Amino acid sequence: MSRWEPNAADRLRRAALELYAEQGFDNTTVAEIAERAGLSERTFFRHFADNREVLFAGASELQQFLVESVASAPRDLAPIMVVARAFESASIYFEGRREGAQLRQAVINANPELKERELIKLSVMASALANALRARGVREPAATLASEAGVVVFRIAFENWVEPINTRDLAHVIRHAFAQLEEVASAK
């Protein structure tokens, strides 16, 4: 019965974000998402475990990309630079997805439970980055400091980037935010 659905995951994600923004996350069913996307509920569940997973599946993909990027960074690069470069190169992933990111951010900010989930996802991401740094031989507390601070910087940069007023590309906003961290951390 199964058939090939081009870009099914992206269509479902898009439909879900629209519906969450229009009528609220808690008021939206998987049936509605599937209908809006022109796909079946069965197709939905082939791609996502539930209606929350639609919002957070991307974060897991991003984490995997970041961890691989940290693992393959030049040997002599300082830990914070390794993390900064990983986030900078991950920005390709968000190209052409700014509108979707805006919708997602608005949906999450409107729902305390989703905000908590986002917080936990980011914390897991920081732990994964710290692990990847330790695997490169980075000691503690440098590994945890670089990864936790890096995730904070990314979060701030990302929130700036999705602001309607912003006109810079994400890589630029991330680079600038890491420079600001250096400035803030070294101020006397």
The smaller minimum CB distance to a second copy, of residues 57 and 181, is found at: 181
**C-alpha closest to that of 125 among 178, 75, 56:** 56
How near is the Cβ of 5 to a second copy at its closest, in Å? 35
Smallest distance from a second copy to CB 119, Å: 6
Give 2 or 186: the residue with its C-beta nearer to a second copy: 186
Q: HSE-up of 101 (CA within 13 Å, CB side)?
A: 19
The DSSP annotation for 129-147 comes to HHHHHHHTTPPTTHHHHHH
CB of 103 to a second copy, least distance (A): 23
Instruction: Name the residue among 133, 143, 127 with its Cα closest to residue 72.
Output: 133
Site residues for a second copy per CB under 8 A: 78-81, 116, 119-120, 123, 141-142, 144-146, 148-149, 152-153, 156, 160, 177, 180-188
For the bound state, the minimum distance from the C-beta of residue 36 to a second copy, rounded and expressed in Å, comes to 32
In sequence order, what are the residues at sequence separation of 6 or more whose Cβ sits closer than 8 angstroms to the Cβ of residue 79? 133, 138, 142, 143, 146, 147
Give the nearer residue to a second copy in terms of CB position, either 58 or 79: 79
Considering beta carbons, is residue 9 or 133 the nearer one to a second copy? 133
CB of 18 to a second copy, least distance (A): 28
The DSSP annotation for 35-58 comes to: HHHTS-HHHHHHH-SSTTHHHHHH
Q: How far apart are CA 84 and CA 160, in angstroms?
A: 16
Chain centroid to Cα 82, Å, comes to: 18
Closer residue to a second copy in complex, CB, 57/124: 124
